[in-house]
Structures are given as C-alpha cells and as structure tokens.
Structure 1
Amino acid sequence: MTHERTVPVPATRWTDAVIPCIDVRAGRAAEPAAHPGISDPGDVVEIADGYARGGATTLFLDVVDPWESTGYLPDLLRELVETGLTPVVSVQQGVLPSTAACATLLTAGAGKVSVSTSMAEEPGLVAAAAAELGGHRFVGVLNCAADGRGGWHVLVHGGDTPTGLRATDVARRYGELGLAAVLANSVDREGTSLGYDLELTAAVARASGLPVIASGGAGEAGHLADALAAGHATYVLVNKLVHSGRASVASLGAELSRAVTTQEGGR
C-alpha cells in the first residue's frame, strides 16, 4: 500500500508536547479513527500523517500483538518515519524479549522502544539493553494504581497484574539507567476523561529526574495544561481525545498556547 504525503505544518513548542497514541493490532488501528479527513479509519500511517500535519512530532505506537506476531512492524515503522513523526514503540505491554529484537525496531525507524513489564520481570535484561543500545533509546512506562496510602503501585501486562513495586522506586531506577523519559499512566484515570493524576506525574518527575509523559484521563485541553504546569510533566499523551475526533493535535496546541499566555499575563 502506498500513501500520499502532505508536508506537516511547522510544530510549535506546544504541539511538540502533545504525543498522540495509536493502538495497533495486526498492523491496523485496533479501533477505527473518527477524526475528519481520513479515507481509511484503520490505516495507521494515514492516521499518523494526520497527526503530523497537525503539528505532532512524536507518535506512541502501542502494539498489542505478541512479539512473534509483529513481522509487519519494521515495514510499518519505515512508512511512519516518512510522515515526519518519531515513533515510540511499545510491544506486548512493554515486554522486551531481547536486545536484538529491540535493535531491529530501532534500525527500522523507531526513535525509542518502551519497557514496562520487562522492567518488573527481567530488570537485568532492560539494564543490559540500555547499556548496549543507549538509555536514550528507551522510554520507561509505569502503569500505576493508587495504593490507598498516598502512593502508587506498579501493574504490568497492560495494567492487569500487580507487582507490589512502588511507582517511585521503579521511576528512580529508570532515572539511574538514563532512559529518555518516563511515561506515568494512571490506570485509575484511564478512559474517564477526568484529567491526569497530577500528583502521580509530579512524584515520578521528582523520583526519576527524567522528562515525564503524563498519561491516562485526558478529556480536554485544560487537562493537558494542568499536567504540564502543576503535574511537572514535559509531555502529554493523548489517545481517545484525538482518535475520536473530539479534538485535533493542532487545536490542542493552540489551546495550550492560549492557556499559557493567559497564565503569564495574570502574573
């Protein structure tokens, strides 16, 4: 399949901060996209190209297939790079089977590979991969749920399996490995459109010393602004908010710019 490319609009600092996410199964969007201007709502590259034209510079690709079923992924990554986006790839809920498997994705065009489940189950493998390939080629993911004591515990396998690990402890370890960033996802907020868990993102930022990507609960542009300010996040992940067509990357960037201008004008 071939895709006609349109030149992305120049990204502002605010659209740079917005990272759209596409869930992928068998090389197609796991849920059809509903935002306007696409001819095939399941075509990952066409959806991504729309995000790039809106000013996004990074794409989070959440591949739900097991590693053995991702033979399509290198070709898909090569096409995604042509949109101008830098893909961050998660496979099988952050499982890393080997350094070689990760290197294959990076060679094909992934800017970074995410780890989460393997950090809990095989931390030595993650450390070895970071040492060999460079920590800057990895994003650490924390799927977290409140522990009822003012903290958060880590879940793996897509948020289904508790580990007993504290989110801030794992965040600190990500920082020690020198990863590029940490994605702090609130399982409690996912799908609620109530906004990100700002206390979680701030705690992860303090513990890791790394840029934090806020995830879980975005329902409007104001939630993104809150995460970047009070939540001390550097980036914000959006999925349903843009995938459903309720907002675009460009509109979110514009609203973030207005929100910051208003905040600065009120000082």
Structure 2
Amino acid sequence: MNSPTSVFQDRNAHIGDLVIPCVDVARGAATEPSAIPGLNDPSDVGEIVETYATGSAQKVFLDVFDAWDAIGYLPALLRRLKETGIDLLVSVGHGLLPSVTDLEKLLGAGADVVSVSTAMVENPRTIEEAVREFGGQRLMGVINSSRSDAGSWEVHVHDGERPAGVTSETMARRFADLQVGAILANSIDREGTGRGFDLALTRTLVETSGLPVIASGGCGSLQHLREALRGGHATYVLLNKMVHDGRHSIAEIRDYLFADSMYRPGQ
C-alpha cells in the first residue's frame, strides 16, 4: 500500500487551512452563479476557486453533482484548478466510487483526495481495494447524518436521500480502520438552516474515529466557525453559501480567526 503524505494536518495547521470553501458543480459550471465581487463569469469554477486561493484558502471541496458517466469534463477542470496551488478535495455522484480505475483517473488529473460515502455502504470492497492501491490518505469519508428517533445519528446515502441502516459512529469506526485522511461530518438536520454546526455530532465523530473531522451543515455566521473549531473539536470547517454568495470573503474569515487567541499566525 502506498503511504502518501496527507493533505490533512493536525490541529496546529496554519490558520488559512482551517476553512474549506465548497463549490457545487454540475456540467462543468457552478450550480448557482456566485456573488463574489469582481468575477467575470460568476459560474466559472476556475474563477471562483482562484478567488478562494487568493484569499489564502489552502483547500477547496468540489461537490460534483453529475454521475460518474457524465464527468468527461472533470479531468481538464482539475488540471486547471491545480494551477492555483490549492488542494483539491473532490466528491462525484453521491460518493459512489465505481472502481479503482475511476479513482486513478481523478488522482492523475490533480485531485488530492476523493470522497466516499455511498460506496462505503454499497460497495465496500472497492473502497478497500482503493486503500490498498493508493493509501487511505487519498480518500475522505463523508458521513451524512441525521438524528434518529433513538437519539443517535443515522447515516444517509445517495446525497442524504436514503437511510443506510447504520449509525454514524459505526461508519466513523470503519473509516478509521481504513485510515482515511479525514471525515466530513455533515448534519442533514442543520443543512441550509444557518443555525450552526451540530457540535455534538462533530465531537462524537472526533472521539470515535481519532481522525481529523470537517464540520459541515448549518453554518450561518462567523461565530459558528469558532464554535465548531472549539466546542465541536473539528479540525476544519466547510463553507458554502457564506462565501459563495459574497457575504464573507476567505480573507475576512481568516482575519476573524486570527483575532482568536486560540490561533496564532504561522501555526
């Protein structure tokens, strides 16, 4: 098994590495035009990512809505984005990785990490084969979670549309066994609410897996970022609308976190 250096760091990561902007992509363009000031083409993924990189973001998450058989445009896009120097975290078709060959194509085109979620439930042998071939650090586990009636969190697959019949804690342990680079802890219940991240979920997955965890779902303010990194024990926070609609820039968010005594420039 290969043992590449992980693009995910520990909690002493540089301040600009804590925030991961997300770009939703379909047919090679942003699914919704961005309101970031100064863009020539608000739907151009390359322009959006370059703006994030200029603002000091060191990673970007590309959430590609197209199915695997409809991403012929993606390798060229990844090669273009790689020129910005930013780390590329890529999710395709609800995290349903068809084969190791498909993974190899994306890694060869410039993806640093490819996420898996549905495939971990429906086709775990492919994930195990991918880990043997490329190392767990080239994969990121996505756990789309919703509170069950029993009070625990239940995994949902196919972009959160179907319950998988497994708890989020169990899935986190499976990802830990494979030594994936990180876990993205997405709260289905909080998505689009602006109420803040589910801090109990992120804490639980950190404690269960021992892996870097990315908080996702529900961010509506700068304070929510601090809460996730502090009380939620997240290593990273995933942002979408907050930056895509131009409400806050990556540089502004960086400066906000710089002001927190928990973080020091250059760390």
Identical aligned residues as a percent: 50
1:261 aligns with 2:264: no
The aligned runs of 1:222-261 (5 Å cut-off) are 222-258=223-259, 260-261=260-261
Structure 1 CA distance for aligned equivalents of residues 152 and 258 of structure 2: 32
**1:188-207 superposed Cα distances (whole Å, 9 cap, x missing partner):** 00011111000000001111
> How much has 1:131 moved relative to structure 2?
1.4
Structure 1 CA distance for aligned equivalents of residues 212 and 165 of structure 2: 24
Contact 1:94/1:114, CA 8 A, preserved across alignment: yes
Structure 2 CA distance for aligned equivalents of residues 221 and 27 of structure 1: 30
Change (3 A) 1:263 1:39: closer
> 1:199 maps to which residue?
200
> 1:139 maps to which residue?
140
> 1:189 maps to which residue?
190
Change (3 A) 1:232 1:262: closer
**1:110-158 superposed Cα distances (whole Å, 9 cap, x missing partner):** 0000000101111111111111111000000000001133310000111
Contact 2:79/2:109, CA 8 A, preserved across alignment: yes
Match of 1:93, SS? helix
Contact 1:221/1:252, CA 8 A, preserved across alignment: yes
> How much has 1:220 moved relative to structure 2?
1.1
> 2:82 maps to which residue?
81
The aligned runs of 1:92-171 (5 Å cut-off) are 92-171=93-172
Structure 1 CA distance for aligned equivalents of residues 80 and 153 of structure 2: 38
Structure 2 CA distance for aligned equivalents of residues 13 and 178 of structure 1: 23
Amino acid at match of 1:254: D
Match of 2:61, SS? strand
> 1:41 maps to which residue?
42
1:177 aligns with 2:178: yes
**1:33-74 superposed Cα distances (whole Å, 9 cap, x missing partner):** 111111100000000000000000001000000111100000
CA RMSD of aligned residues (A): 1.3
- Residue ranges of structure 2 left out of the alignment (5+ in a row): 1-12
Runs of 4+ in 1 over 6 A off after TM superposition: none
Q: TM-score, normalised by structure 2?
A: 0.92
Amino acid at match of 2:122: E
> 1:5 maps to which residue?
none
Match of 1:231, SS? coil
Structure 2 CA distance for aligned equivalents of residues 193 and 52 of structure 1: 25
Structure 2 CA distance for aligned equivalents of residues 114 and 70 of structure 1: 15
> 2:10 maps to which residue?
none
> How much has 1:262 moved relative to structure 2?
7.7
> 2:55 maps to which residue?
54
Change (3 A) 1:40 1:220: same
Structure 2 CA distance for aligned equivalents of residues 90 and 249 of structure 1: 22
Q: TM-score, normalised by structure 1?
A: 0.92
Q: How many residues align?
A: 252
Contact 1:196/1:214, CA 8 A, preserved across alignment: yes
Contact 1:14/1:254, CA 8 A, preserved across alignment: no
Structure with the bigger RCO (C-alpha within 8 Å, sep 6+) is 2
Match of 1:19, SS? strand
Amino acid at match of 2:110: G
Match of 2:94, SS? coil
